[in-house]
Amino acid sequence: MWLTRPLSERSTLLFLAVLGVVMALVVACNLWLPRGHALHVSTYTVTLLGKYLCYALLAVAVDLVWGYLGILSLGHGAFFALGGYAMGMYLMRQIGDRGVYGDPQLPDFMVFLNWDSLPWYWQGFDMAWFAFLMVLLAPGLLALVFGFLAFRSRVTGVYLSIITQALTFALMLAFFRNEMGFGGNNGLTDFKELMGFDLTAHATRLGLFIASGVALALGYVLCRAIVVSKLGRVCIAVRDAEARTRFLGYRVERYQLFVFMVSAMLAGVAGALYVPQVGIINPSEFSPLFSIEIVVWVALGGRATLFGAVIGALVVNYAKSVFTGVMPEAWLFALGALFVLVTVMLPNGIAGLLRRRRGDAEQVPTSTTTTTEAST
Amino acid sequence: MIRILPSALHRSLSRRLTGGLALSVLALGISTTALAEDAQDPIKVGILHSLTGTMAISESTLKDTMLMLIEQQNAQGGLLGRELEPVVVDPASNWPLFAEKARELLAQEEVDVIFGNWTSVSRKSVLPVVEELNGLLFYPVQYEGEESSENVFYTGAAPNQQAIPAVDYLMNEVGVERWVLAGTDYVYPRTTNRILEAYLAANGVGDDDIMVNYTPFGHSDWQNIVSEIKQFGSAGKKTAVVSTVNGDANVPFYRELANQGVDAADIPVVAFSVGEQELSGIDTAPLVGHLAAWNYFMSVDNDANYDFIDAWYDYTGDDEAVTNDPMEAHYIGFNMWLEAVRKAGTTDVDEVKDAIIGVSVPNLTGGYATMMPNHHITKPVLIGEIQDNGQFSVVWETPSTVAGDAWSDFLQGSRDLISDWRAPMRCGNYNVVEGSCGAGAAETVASE
Amino acid sequence: MGMFSAGRGLVGLVLAGLLWLSAGSALGASEASSAPDPGRGLLTELAEADYNGKKAVIDTIVASGDERSRRWLESLADGKLQRLKDSGDFVIVLRNRGREWPVVDALTFEDAGEVSRRALDRIRINNALRGYLDSSLALFDLRVDDPQARLVAARDLIGEVDESSVEPIARLLAEESDSDVVTTLELALAIQRLDQGDVEAVEVLAGNLDSRARAALSQASRSDDPTLAAAASEALTSIEQVLKINRAAETLYFGLSLGSVLVLAAIGLAITFGVMGVINMAHGELIMLGAYTTWAMQQVLPGQPGLALLLSIPAGFLVAALAGVAIERSVIQFLKGRPLETLLATFGVSLILQQLVRTVISPLNRTVVTPEWMSGSLMVNDALSLTLNRLYVLGFALLVFAALMLVMRRTRLGLEVRAVTQNRAMARAMGIRATRVDILTFALGSGVAGLAGVALSQLTNVGPNLGQNYIIDSFMVVVFGGVGNLWGTLVAGLSLGVINQVLEPWAGAVLAKILVLVFIILFIQKRPRGLFPQKGRAAEG
Amino acid sequence: MSFLQSLADRDRVFDFLVPEDSPVDVRHGPILYLEDVTVSFDGFKAINNLNLTIDDGELRCIIGPNGAGKTTMMDIITGKTRPDTGTVWFGSRHNLLQKNEPEIARLGIGRKFQKPTVFEALSVFENLELAMAMDKSLWPTLRARLTSEVRERIDAVLQTIGLADLRARPAGILSHGQKQWLEIGMLLMQRPRLLLVDEPVAGMTEQEMERTAELLTGLAGRHSVVVVEHDMGFVRSIARTVTVLHQGSVLAEGTMDQVANDPKVIEVYLGGEEEAV
């Protein structure tokens, strides 16, 4: 079975083991150490870590298309947000008549803006299975349509990046519109429970944290499985010499579309797990700057390594959490400097640094210029 | 395209990863351990305003206001013999981060009260956290209403404390018959405009005489809209624009108005989101005479106000610095909280919540603000005209203060709701028709 | 309605007063005696009356013929006529910012030192009163020699004429020599006659595009008199037709104006990104630096906003170019040939620059004053006026573009830039110092961004977020036009601007923007390398 | 998924209408046939009424000065560029103008680029693996395993191109000549009927050139080979028939000696390239 192939890799097993151990530690320290103990992990921290794990999964999704397929998507936030909205809509319906107006059907913001009935696209979201399906389908379909058009027309490089940016920007503006029926700028919030579990309960928070970890593990294994298969090598071939791959007889656009869709769905799952943990989804997740930031995480961690994406997402977001509290007025300097320094000093990101310290001898040209210059 | 080399480099990299992860978890874990509280410890005041990102423009001065107020209070001996300690965090204009930072303030820092938020969405994001962890939040900005939380105190204006009196003024004192409702497309303008439409209709204004227009955040190209407004205003009836345009979009809006020759004498614009601070970024000479409705203006002639302004000048070291309505709201909210803590003799949230209802403190316009049972406060409504020095001159004010209404009488869903957080009722959305509290109401109805 | 008739009454009164003055019987009676100044009494009345009462007092002041009345009324209109709380003396405030305000005595106009703002009471004034004041102040100008000033005054009379003022205006009209003033006054009179039901007045108004004429006609078209109603509707229809053309022209102008802003914002990027391949996310912040330079220049030269703005053009260019050089030397030179990494590093730079401005200057927006000659609008006809600031920006954008084309096509630098872009190794072999060319190119692109900032300071906020609002649009424009093609950027910017403005009245501002984005996405499917793709083998690399 | 995929393919309407891997039919004539092909970029005619036939099993050299349209011609045959007019047939059954690059590649036309393009991040072995003729649609690729049969074939080709020792190294570290051979090896893995080889010896040393000549002549017979080359010495060493392109159309055709003595050719080359002399 191609899916289980990574499980025989040492690196993947190690990754899973580390993830498992850390998560078990966190859970244990949260449950069994008393408050006030030096190693107690508060529920606040657990939720925070859960959020990081969602971001890490998102980063893995971006690394899959950018690192291995060479598509720099500046619009992956859109898939993340769509997954989040699908989950948010389910959570809104779960509120039922506990909203402030007590309407059993309509979410508060609809009562408030005088909608008389639920719009058609909100139908079905009261059922968990349907909502969870949409978590995958909504981003997947968007990726399918968008990717079909773009890859068929062979839009490449920066042109592709910019239209992915246009895509997420357009979606952001659309979701800001109150007529859309997604709550406008306020988005969806005030969630109560998820599949019957109270969202404010500690157990639920732990559960969501674990779910995020499991999703990250599964997503990682799936991506590894793709990467180590022959399909993964085709992807690298497409990344490095698209035309050549075509002349070898591969229908490049199908490969691109497939991987792009997988990546979009993973991003959607990350979004869906993110929403109940932070308690709000609003159009700012569609913001192009957020999507650029995701790319920065990946670059910082090390592109085309998958685990580098995980490290990057964790490091940047952890730094952000700490800095915004410790140095609220200067943290942007620190973050900006971090981005600049890592890009300039560590061309292959943190993962590259680790690799260099291990003393890998083989140095291979890593950029086109080197090759272009060599051949001219 | 960059080529990054091969997947072969994978191998035992994850070993390093282990160390990193474990370290960061450890660090978080340690930072979480809070020390047991003791009577001599300072009282912690959380300040949750964006210092970076798009909202920094509006919110960063509120952070400074709070720091100044706390400093002043400490100079007077603190509170209950303890010192006040500000805890500042930066939610960076990012709404989920607001919730996270609120959680950090309440769960990690264990602050006794939070002053913060500007946008509605940030408040909505923080609300569940504050309720879950039973914190106190003072929210200083005018907003759309339709909310009343046990843990939140709304010191800014509700729609009935700003929009309705302003429209009354234009209708009765200026003789406006035709209305343009222009706003940024988000919940505050939407709600305000819905309330106003209902109110205008009730006052006999026909649909033809109302034009509604929404624009995106940060809209910078107003040519077409101003031109439409001009056309709309050339029908021979006195026309006014009621603007709920938000923040940054105002500068280009007013510039376009001035350049297309729309002056206050022809088509006055009354704004609900433009204060002294917004004007400080505009050359106001061409805008003289346009209006704003607030509960406070820096130009109010009152000694308490002058003292506050002088203190602000000193604190910022800038004699050109401006004060505005949300700053006054924080001033009032802070003093109310101090008073309530003194009254309760403790900073315990539940006791402060009970003690604060009914507390009256002086505002900066020469009157008193009282905390009502619905967690909104009483405020005077002032209408001011823009001067060429970036200030407003008050042209009209309500004869007495107006109590904030959490649930608008002009919206269908909220007409029958009231809020009262005092002992027997303790309900934020009590339905007077059904005689029961909020969500429970529908259940009772369903089961009967 | 009551207010309107009051307004008309005033016009009549003031006109009567003026005619009386012009007859030569006005003499400064107050100067001769040392008796208590009647001015003080007038001002006291003014201060103590309510809004309606103030109108009467203003009439009295005007009728008094006191030479100081003009300054009194002006100060009143500005809110600067104030009264000391303790003594009840009147002063005129010279500067009303900060704690202590410099004042002059309102009766003698002598310097009265500085007074705490706490000690002052402002004489209240509202919009209606200000309008009343403005028209009476304007009437002071009807007698001046400058026909331009008379024209302004005459314009103020349109729609304000009533029976009592018909006579004096007609007399003034007979003496008037300037044809523009004559037409305007005739129009003002015709509107009054139309209100009275005079069918012949329709002829005067027919074809007139002034909105007040139109308002009068549409009122007349609803009149009970069928002949009048028919004539008025007919005139209205023909006006509507002309207006339709005007509106189309106006929309086109709006579009070009928005487009010129896009072009300005994007053209610097077209150089750094299109020519050098650097994805400069800090481009927006370079624009911001240009805008802040304008602000700083105006702080250095207070009171001369126009001069400051002109000086900002070279200064803004220099500041942004220097910042560009700093970015190039400190970051970009290490990222040669790694275009995507420049995106990440410059994203970091943009965060730093933004926060730097917040920390060093202020998180608040800064005021940039629009100079006199850039405010207002150019009247093409009564219904079509082009806002001057945007007209200047449009012209400026085209100038910058032309200059840039000249640099790229006609100068040694341009040649070297093109050579380095096409084949770095070869250019180097031919003795071109590629590093120097890189620095200069990046400086040029950044400097142009600074110029965009100078222009934008006249249209929008000058604040730390300025850059972020333009960076995404800029990338769209460059990509839509075709990377590496300056003409493409120009055409793309202008056409996107026009498309947006054509859609806007029909779809609303938000939807128009979404549609434009969708259009770009679909267009790139059709032409994957933009409007003007680079062709041939070079494009394949 | 595969249904979606078939939808995603814009050039095909129904699978059953196109017998995709049908053998090339050369019973009635040449393997490659170009007639009246014209293509222009921005008004510049890169190819002008070009007529060309290649017989099955032939080794043909195409020469011509810079800008003669050699690379463009290859682009047309492999589906990268669409001509404005003209027809291109592969055997007598396949109209190449109706197919895209992967389809043409699967029909059995392999191409080596002017600039050696191998997948630098992948190992030499993996480069060959990707090139191998087998089902190249999505699912099979995802699930593909390395069978011993595949290994043997790759090993055989590694031997042929002399890179057996470097099999596990990334292709990026190969020398220029080694990359050229790897690319030829990849062509071999494709088992093509027709090989298009663009400047195979540019930048090679004498020895490398000899080896390349051996490789190419060894290929002819089993495969049809079209070589575009500047280096006259090299062309002379391998060529049987030479076609001279000039300004987008055929100037002369014949043996190397015939062509070299053709006055038209001499005239064209005199102002042009030094190699011709």
Q: What is the DSSP letter of D31?
A: S
Q: Residues of C with CB below 8 A from B256's CB?
A: 387
User: In this predicted model, what pLDDT tens digit does every residue of B376-406 receive, in sequence order?
Assistant: 999 999 999 998 888 999 999 998 999 999 9
Q: What is the mean pLDDT of residues B185-204?
A: 90
Residue C340 near residue C332 (C-beta atoms within 8 A) = no
Decide if A367 is inside a domain: no
The verdict on C349 touching A (C-beta cutoff 8 Å) is: yes
Distance CA B65, CA B47 (A): 10
Tell me which DSSP letter residue D223 carries. Answer: B
What is the rounded distance in angstroms from the CA atom of residue C152 to the CA atom of residue B124?
A: 52
What value of ipTM does the predicted structure carry? 0.84
Looking at the domain assignment, is residue B15 inside a domain? Answer: no
pLDDT of residue B196: 92
Helices marked H in B33-112: 56-75, 95-103
Q: What is the pLDDT of residues C459-498, one digit of tens each?
A: 888 999 898 889 989 999 999 998 888 899 999 999 999 9
Number of domains in chain B: 3
Residue B356 pLDDT: 95
Query: Of the candidates C325, C252, B20, D107, which has an alpha carbon nearest to the alpha carbon of residue A52?
Result: B20
Residue C387, by phi and psi: left (phi above 0), alpha (psi -120 to 50) or beta?
A: beta
What is the pLDDT at residue C442?
Answer: 92
Residue C95 phi, psi dihedral angles, 5° rounding = -145, 120
Write the CA distances from C295 to C372, C512, D200, integer angstroms: 16, 32, 62
Site from B90, B170, B224, B388 to mutate, C interface, most C CB atoms within 10 angstroms: B224
* Residues on chain D touching C540 (C-beta within 8 angstroms): none
The string of pLDDT tens digits covering residues A278-305 is 999 999 999 998 999 999 899 889 888 9
* In the predicted structure, residue B31 carries a pLDDT above the cut 50: no
Nearest-CA distance A345 → chain C (Å):
9
Mean pLDDT of A161-180: 91
Q: Which domain holds residue A216?
A: 2-294
Q: Note whether B261 and B176 are same-domain residues.
A: yes
Per-residue tokens: C311: 């000086």
Look at residue C35 in the predicted model and tell me its pLDDT: 63
Residues of B in contact with C130 (CB under 8 A): 264-265, 288-289, 385
Give, as one character, the DSSP assignment of residue D12: -
The number of C-alpha atoms within 13 Å of D171 and in the hemisphere containing its C-beta is 31
**Segments forming the whole domain that contains residue B425:** 417-447
Quick check: C521 and A163 CB within 8 A? Answer: yes
Q: Does residue C536 sit at the D interface (CB-CB below 8 Å)?
A: yes
Nearest CB to C510: which of A154, A177, A368? A177
CB contact under 8 A, A173 and C514: yes
Count of domains forming chain C:
1
CATH number, position B258: 3.40.50.2300
The answer to whether residue A309 sits within a structural domain is no
**Alpha-carbon span B19 to B25, nearest angstrom:** 10
Closest CA to C442 of C288, C268, C272: C272
Question: Which residues on D lie below 8 Å from B3 (Cβ)?
Answer: 120-121, 172
Contact A185 B411 (CB under 8 A): no
Nearest Cα of chain D lies from the Cα of C535 at a distance, in angstroms, of 8
The contacts of residue A69 (CB under 8 Å, 6+ apart) are: A235, A238, A239, A255, A256, A259, A260
- How far is the C-alpha of A19 from the C-alpha of A124, rounded, in Å? 35
CA distance B131 to B125: 11
Residue D26 pLDDT? 67
With beta carbons less than 8 A apart as the criterion, state whether D255 and D59 touch: no
Q: Where are the domains of chain D?
A: 56-77+107-276
For chain B, the average pLDDT equals 85
Extended beta strands in chain A, E state: 188-189, 193-194, 197-198, 280-281
C-beta atoms of B51 and A329 within 8 A: yes
For A110-125, the pLDDT digits (tens) are 887 778 888 999 999 9
Q: Which amino acid, residue B272?
A: F
Is residue B315 packed enough to be buried (19+ CB in 10 Å), middle (13-18) or exposed (0-12)? Answer: middle
Tell me the average confidence (pLDDT) per consecutive run of 10 residues in chain C, 541 residues long: 43 49 42 66 87 85 80 86 89 87 89 88 84 73 71 74 74 80 83 80 79 78 81 85 88 93 93 84 95 94 90 96 95 82 88 92 87 84 83 95 91 84 77 85 94 92 88 91 89 95 89 93 89 57 35
Which residues of chain D make contact with B9, given a CB cutoff of 8 A? Answer: none
A156 part of contact set with chain D, CB < 8 Å: no
If you average pLDDT over residues B222-241, what whole number do you get? 88
Q: What is the CATH number of domain D56-77+107-276?
A: 3.40.50.300
* Position A158 in a domain: yes
Domain assignment present for residue A193? The answer is yes
A340: Cβ–Cβ under 8 A, 6 or more apart, which residues?
C331, C345, C348, C349, C352
Beta carbons of D137 and A233 less than 8 Å apart: no
Q: For residue B84, give both structure tokens.
A: 């006040």
Instruction: Give the whole-angstrom CA distance, residue A293 versus residue A297.
Output: 6
Check CB contact of B3 with chain D, cutoff 8 Å: yes
Partner-chain contact C363 B174, CB within 8 Å = no
Q: Do A233 and D129 touch (CB under 8 A)?
A: yes
Is residue B18 in some structural domain? no
Mean pLDDT lowest for which of A90-94, B290-294, D81-85?
D81-85
For residue B441, name the pLDDT band (cuts at 50, 70, 90).
very low
pLDDT of residue D3: 52
CB contact under 8 A, A150 and C520: no
Q: Which residue has the tokens 């709701």?
A: B417
pLDDT class of B41 with cuts at 50, 70, 90: confident
Q: How confident is the model at residue B4 (pLDDT cuts 50, 70, 90)?
A: very low
Residue C526 forms contact with D (CB below 8 Å): no
The answer on B320 and B243 residing in a single domain is no
Say yes or no to pLDDT of D94 above 50: yes
Residue D123 to residue B5, Cβ atoms within 8 A: no
**Token output for C490:** 């120009």
Decide: D184 and D190 in contact? Cβ < 8 Å.
Answer: no
Residues D36 and D87 sit within 8 Å (Cβ to Cβ) = yes
C194 lies in a domain? no
B75 — pLDDT class (breaks 50, 70, 90): very high
CB-based contact A357:A308 (threshold 8 Å) = no
| C344:A339 CB<8 A | yes
Percent helix, percent strand, percent coil in chain D, to nearest 5: 40, 25, 35
Query: Is there a single domain that holds both residue B352 and residue B441?
Result: no
User: Tell me: the pLDDT tens digits for D164-222?
Assistant: 888 888 988 888 888 888 988 888 888 888 888 888 887 788 888 888 888 888 777 77
Would residue A259 count as lying in a domain?
yes
Q: Which of A146, A292, A330 minimises the CB distance to C347?
A: A292
Is residue B439 within 8 Å of residue A99, measured between CB atoms? Answer: yes
Scan residues 93-152 of D and list those with Cβ closer than 8 Å to B. Answer: 120-123
Q: At residue A374, does pLDDT exceed 50?
A: no
Is position C117 within any domain?
Answer: no
Does residue C97 sit at the D interface (CB-CB below 8 Å)?
no
- CATH number of domain containing C478: 1.10.3470
Contacting chains of A (3 CB pairs or more, <8 Å) are B, C, D
Mapped onto helix, strand or coil, the DSSP state of residue B43 is strand
- Report the gap between the CA of C242 and the closest CA in chain B (Å): 14
Question: Which residues does C19 contact at the CB level (< 8 Å), separation at least 6?
Answer: C168, C171
Distance of alpha carbon A190 from alpha carbon B152, whole angstroms: 15
Q: Say how far residue B309 (Cα) sits from the centre of its chain.
A: 20
Contacts of C464 in chain B (CB under 8 A): 56-57
Query: B191 and B144 in one domain?
Result: no
Average pLDDT along chain C: 83
Residue A322: inside a domain: no
Q: How many domains does chain A have?
A: 1
Cα separation, B288 vs A246, in Å, equals: 67
Residue A300 lies in a domain: no
Q: How confident is the model at residue B14 (pLDDT cuts 50, 70, 90)?
A: very low
Answer yes or no: do D120 and A237 touch at CB < 8 A. no
Rounded mean pLDDT of D89-110? 85
User: Looking at beta carbons, which residues of chain B come within 8 Å of C469?
Assistant: 218, 220, 248
Residue D177 to residues A314, D131, D197, D206, D275, Cα–Cα distance (Å)? 44, 19, 14, 11, 20
Tokens of C363: 């998180």
Q: What is the pLDDT of residue B71?
A: 96
Q: Is the pLDDT of residue A244 over 90?
A: no
Nearest CB partner across the interface for C520, out of A163, A338, A370: A163
Same domain assignment for residues B191 and B205: yes
In order of C135, C206, C519, the CA distances from C213 in angstroms are 19, 9, 41
Residue B310 near residue B263, CB atoms below 8 Å: no
Task: Give me the amino acid identity at C136.
Answer: S
Per-residue confidence (pLDDT) for residue A358, from 0 to 100 = 56
Q: Report the percentage of chain A scoring pLDDT > 90.
A: 55
- Give the pLDDT of residue C140: 66
Give Cβ neighbours of residue B306 (< 8 Å, ≥ 6 apart): C117, C118
pLDDT digits 0-9 by tens, B313-367: 999 998 889 999 999 999 999 999 999 999 999 999 999 999 999 999 999 999 9
Q: Does residue B179 surpass a pLDDT of 60? A: yes
Mean pLDDT of D158-168: 87
In a domain, C225, yes or no: no
Q: What are phi and psi of D51, to 5 degrees?
A: -125, 135
Q: Is the per-residue pLDDT at B19 higher than 50?
A: no
pLDDT at B58 (0 to 100)? 87
Q: Do B57 and C364 touch (CB under 8 A)?
A: yes
How many angstroms separate the most distant Cα atoms in chain A? 72
Domain residues for the domain of C416 are 246-366+386-534
Contacts of D43 in chain C (CB under 8 A): none
Which residues fall within 8 angstroms of residue B223, CB to CB, at 6 or more apart?
B256, B260, C254, C257, C258, C387, C390, C501
Instruction: For residue range D224-241, list pLDDT tens digits in order.
Output: 888 888 777 888 888 778
* Residue among C352, C398, C410 nearest C493 (CA): C398
- pTM, entire model: 0.86
Of A50 and D18, the structure prediction assigns the larger pLDDT to: A50
- Name every residue whose Cβ is closer than 8 Å to that of residue C417 and which is 6 or more positions away in sequence: C275, C408, C437, C440, C441
